[in-house]
């Protein structure tokens, strides 16, 4: 960091800043036409009078500036004049301190101008000594901003600022003095758009997700006892990848006046941006983390409504400050006029919880705000996940309604009672003028209560059967309602809900789905019924990503049924049509949460197509086509990671996921691991075991990554154990018994831990005994025959028990092999 130079030689003492400030404040309080007369008659020396004339002449220019850390105009101009007097200069207030291209600011070389503001310029720089690769940004301040004091305070804060290591905070690298003595700050160069511009066109949920990134960044700094003090849209950039980058941490503190001695009044510059400042900043009171929270509240208000909470029509810093202190902002949902498109729908979504959250963050008194920024963020996350917010007491009805969206059996009675009520409505004589309202109410019931209740019920003992019963009753009610709706939009909306519920029923009964009831006959019937409803939808509605993905899921269920019935060619034909249709719909879908899910569903459909084409098990043995389908499935499944427009919707999907279910990201990674294992099997069957090992190792790496992030999810560990067993067989086929032994020993160690964690589950004991076959076989081959005896005995016992239950020729041959090995193992 550039060393602060020693203080300059003594200069004549300037006039007293407090005197300038008092006269300037008095002049501003007058009508513009009366100010010149006031200054001419003021009791002051000629130098002070000249400064007042200059300051007033440029007042509007400075207040209109949009530069960083814009101060109250009176404070800014008084400080600038104080700086001029202190250096013995009378610089033109219009002048902007700039550095020509090639200028060195310490070790940084200026290569471009990024912008100008009311307090300085923003320059693009590179490291002249080659110690830093890439570009950085420099903020070069005007003269007169207490240069030595600024750098002294920055040096004091440097250690604390160095602890800011957060993906959503731009790093502050360095500070020093420019060639004319101006202070400068060097920070991470961030490409993107300011927050207020970046959210244009985004929906409510996407805006809240961005704001939560900002909250995480501010909370991180607060945890390190750092307050930003100047949160505003231009200090919050959104990168091209859709990530928040918070700028200027530490600069506000460095520009703040040094603390005054006890008992003395502190004069001078306190940096703030009037439209985003907190009441305590305007009043010059002590600042805390609650100061940043208020500014976050202003930003959130703007994100939701498109307008500021107070001072909406203010044209000067004084007007903005007056509105801030005197006016109470209306709840966001009651803003009368706003530039936001589709405001009536947005207003309805804001009413209630979001109104409450925003107004609490904007409380005039710091003690009335949230206890922390994290508490503010927590309420927003609760809102997104369907929980009541904690800001204010919630009525019992609201609490019960929201609980039904996420809680288990306790809320099932509410949903069933609501279904009974709906049945009564269906049985009544529907009037045409009430049909729209009744259907909307039923859809809210389906989507907000029944699906949420069923999701929670699934993870209770016997909960899947209860969930399927609840969904079946919902389907019955929808089917009874449909004939009364005639044709048109209302009937189409009912059909798309039927499509969704029938697919959920099919997956809940299909073998191979998590927690399913393993009734493939029922799964096929529900899939057929879902496809019938999809066929009745108009093409435009059927092409909507939300409907398309459920239609594809129904196709997948139907293909499974065909494969289980031995109709592999029919399944291949169906999946070929379905994947082609899915590709066409995905290409047309704009970025959304539904489009993200559609892409994942299409990846799964390509994978099912690959399995049907493969030569393993029920497949038809069209191996080149199978490999192409595997490749497309993997590419699609991973594609969202390189697609920022889609990846932005991942948090929204994960927020609504049940805690016992994998997150979207984890589920996608798990699917990729399974695809890689299947590709390894294809390679092994093609007599290419060494290539297969590479695919298995990638699959294992994905599983280890998942386990590190989700150690409580036993199915991720179970997947890894199974893939290690596959790796064992593949190393054996590649004639590498030593590597095969290492893989099977890790597999068995994991299986033994499953037995210890869940001793009542017979699956793990069976897996351990079955997998012991490979350990015994490899040990025997390596000449360690005595060690091979125990695992071979366990494997023989398991195989004989299975053969007694269900005789198979393959198992009989394996039993003979183990018996032969045991005869030479002793």
Burial (Cβ within 10 Å: 0-12, 13-18, ≥19) of residue 337: exposed
| Cα 217 from Cα 239, distance rounded (Å) | 15
Angle (CA) 294 299 303, round 5°: 145
Number of Cβ within a 10 Å radius of residue 309: 25
Consecutive H or E run containing 482: none
Quick one: how far is CA 246 from the chain centroid?
Answer: 16
- State residue 744's pLDDT score: 96
- State residue 223's pLDDT score: 77
Contact 581/543 with Cβ under 8 angstroms? no
The whole-model pTM stands at: 0.48
| Cα 803 from Cα 763, distance rounded (Å) | 17
- State residue 267's pLDDT score: 35
Contact 143/97 with Cβ under 8 angstroms? yes
Closest CA to 274 of 548, 516, 75: 75
Q: Count Cα atoms within 13 angstroms, Cβ side, for 690.
A: 3
Closest CA to 791 of 808, 772, 774, 805: 772
Instruction: Give the Å distances, CA to CA, from 284 to 321, 613, 740.
Output: 12, 73, 72
Q: Rounded to the nearest 10 degrees, how much is the dihedral formed by the CA atoms of 313, 317, 319, 322?
A: 120
- State residue 575's pLDDT score: 93
Angle (CA) 381 496 659, round 5°: 30
- The contacts found for 758-766 with CB under 8 angstroms, 24 or more apart, are 758/714, 766/798
3-state per-residue secondary structure call for 347-388? HHHHCCHHHHHHHHHCCCCHHHCCCCHHHHHHHHHHHHHCCC
Closest CA to 664 of 683, 649, 642: 649
Going by the DSSP 8-state scheme, the letter that residue 445 receives in this structure is: I
Residue 541 phi/psi, 5-degree rounding, is -75, -35
- State residue 484's pLDDT score: 74
In the chain, which residues have pLDDT < 70? 1-22, 24-25, 28-33, 47, 50-52, 54-99, 117-120, 131-133, 142-163, 250-272, 392-463, 512-515, 617-618, 654-661, 826
**Do the annotations mark residue 473 as ligand-binding?**
no
Exposure string of 213-251, with b = 16+ CB inside 10 Å and e = fewer, is bbbbbbbbbbeeebbbbbbbbbbbbbeeebbbbbbbbbb
- State residue 752's pLDDT score: 92
Closest CA to 79 of 333, 269, 297: 269
Residue 117 phi/psi, 5-degree rounding, is -145, 180
126, β-bridge pairs: 109, 135
Closest CA to 249 of 145, 176, 168, 317: 168
State the catalytic residues. 230
Q: Rounded to the nearest 10 degrees, how much is the dihedral formed by the CA atoms of 229, 233, 238, 244?
A: 30
566, β-bridge pairs: none
Going by the DSSP 8-state scheme, the letter that residue 446 receives in this structure is: I
List Cβ neighbours of 390 (8 Å cut-off, separation of 6 or more): 375, 378, 379, 382
Burial (Cβ within 10 Å: 0-12, 13-18, ≥19) of residue 816: exposed
- State residue 12's pLDDT score: 31
């Amino acid at each position: 960091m550039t060393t602060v130079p020693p203080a300059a030689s003594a200069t004549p003492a300037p006039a007293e800043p407090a005197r300038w400030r008092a006269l300037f404040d008095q002049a501003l309080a007058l009508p513009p036409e009366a100010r010149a007369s006031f200054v001419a008659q003021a009791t002051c020396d000629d130098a002070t009078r000249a400064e007042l004339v200059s300051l007033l002449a440029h007042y509007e220019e400075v207040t209109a500036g949009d530069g960083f850390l814009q101060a109250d105009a009176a404070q800014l101009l008084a400080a600038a004049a104080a700086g001029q007097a202190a250096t013995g200069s009378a610089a033109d207030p219009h002048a902007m301190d700039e550095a020509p291209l090639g200028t060195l600011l310490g070790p940084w070389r200026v290569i471009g101008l990024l912008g100008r503001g009311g307090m300085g310029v923003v320059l693009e720089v590179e490291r002249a000594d080659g110690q830093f690769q890439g570009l950085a940004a420099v903020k070069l301040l005007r003269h007169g901003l207490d240069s030595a004091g600024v750098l002294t305070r920055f040096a004091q804060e440097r250690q604390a600022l160095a602890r800011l290591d957060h993906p959503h905070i731009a790093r502050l690298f360095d500070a020093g003095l420019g060639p004319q003595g101006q202070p400068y700050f060097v920070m991470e160069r961030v490409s993107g758009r300011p927050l207020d511009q970046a959210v244009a066109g985004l929906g409510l949920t996407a805006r809240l997700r961005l704001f939560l990134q900002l909250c995480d960044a501010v909370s991180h700094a607060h945890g390190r006892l750092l307050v930003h003090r100047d949160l505003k849209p231009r200090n919050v950039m959104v990168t091209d990848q859709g990530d928040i980058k918070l700028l200027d941490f530490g600069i506000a503190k460095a520009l703040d006046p040094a603390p005054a001695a006890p008992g003395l009044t502190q004069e001078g510059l306190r940096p703030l941006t009037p439209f985003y400042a907190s009441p305590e900043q305007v009043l010059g009171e002590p600042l805390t983390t609650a100061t940043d929270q208020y500014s976050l509240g202003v930003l959130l208000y703007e994100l939701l409504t498109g307008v500021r909470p107070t001072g909406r029509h203010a044209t000067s810093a004084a007007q903005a400050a007056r509105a801030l202190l005197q006016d109470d902002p209306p709840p966001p949902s009651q803003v009368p006029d706003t530039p936001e498109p589709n405001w009536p729908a947005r207003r309805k979504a804001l009413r209630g919880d979001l109104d409450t959250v925003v107004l609490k963050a904007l409380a005039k008194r710091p003690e009335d705000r949230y206890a922390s920024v994290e508490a503010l963020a927590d309420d927003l996350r609760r809102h997104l996940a369907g929980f009541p917010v904690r800001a204010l007491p919630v009525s019992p009805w609201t609490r019960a309604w929201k609980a039904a969206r996420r809680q288990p059996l306790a809320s099932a009675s509410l949903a069933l009672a609501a279904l009974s009520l709906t049945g009564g409505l269906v049985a009544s004589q529907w009037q045409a003028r009430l049909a729209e309202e009744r259907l909307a109410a039923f859809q809210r019931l389906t989507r907000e209560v029944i699906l949420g209740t069923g999701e929670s019920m699934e993870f209770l003992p016997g909960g899947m059967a209860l969930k399927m019963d609840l969904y079946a009753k919902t389907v019955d009610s929808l089917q009874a309602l449909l004939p009364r709706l005639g044709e048109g939009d209302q009937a189409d909306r009912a059909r798309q809900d039927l499509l969704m519920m029938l697919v959920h029923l099919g997956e809940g009964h299909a073998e191979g789905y998590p927690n399913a009831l393993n009734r493939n006959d029922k799964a096929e019937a529900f899939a057929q019924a879902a496809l019938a409803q999809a066929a009745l939808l108009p093409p435009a509605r059927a092409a909507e990503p939300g409907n398309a993905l459920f239609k594809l899921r129904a196709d997948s269920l139907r293909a499974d049924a065909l494969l289980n019935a031995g109709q592999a060619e029919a399944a291949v034909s169906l999946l070929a049509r379905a994947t082609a249709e899915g590709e066409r719909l995905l290409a047309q879908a704009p970025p959304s949460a539904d489009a993200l899910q559609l892409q994942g569903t299409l990846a799964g459909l390509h994978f099912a197509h690959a399995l049907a084409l493969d030569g393993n098990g029920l497949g038809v043995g069209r191996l080149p086509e199978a490999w192409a389908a595997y490749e497309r499935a993997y590419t699609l499944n991973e594609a969202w990671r390189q697609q920022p427009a889609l990846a932005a919707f991942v948090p929204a999907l994960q927020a609504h996921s049940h805690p016992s279910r994998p997150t979207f990201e984890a589920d996608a990674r798990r699917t990729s691991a399974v695809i890689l294992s299947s590709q390894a099997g294809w390679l092994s069957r093609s007599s290419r075991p060494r290539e297969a090992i590479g695919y298995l190792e990638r699959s294992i790496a994905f599983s280890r990554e998942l386990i590190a992030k989700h150690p409580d999810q036993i199915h991720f560990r179970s997947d890894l154990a199974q893939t290690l067993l596959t790796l064992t067989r593949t190393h054996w086929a590649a004639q590498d018994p030593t590597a095969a032994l290492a893989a099977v020993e890790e597999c068995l160690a994991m299986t033994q831990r499953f037995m210890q964690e869940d001793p009542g589950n017979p699956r793990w004991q069976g897996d351990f005994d079955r997998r012991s076959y490979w350990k015994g076989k490899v040990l025997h081959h390596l000449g360690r025959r005595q060690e091979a005896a125990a695992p071979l005995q366990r494997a023989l016992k398991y195989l004989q028990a299975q053969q007694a239950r269900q005789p198979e020729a393959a198992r009989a041959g394996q039993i003979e092999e183990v018996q032969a090995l045991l005869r030479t193992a002793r």
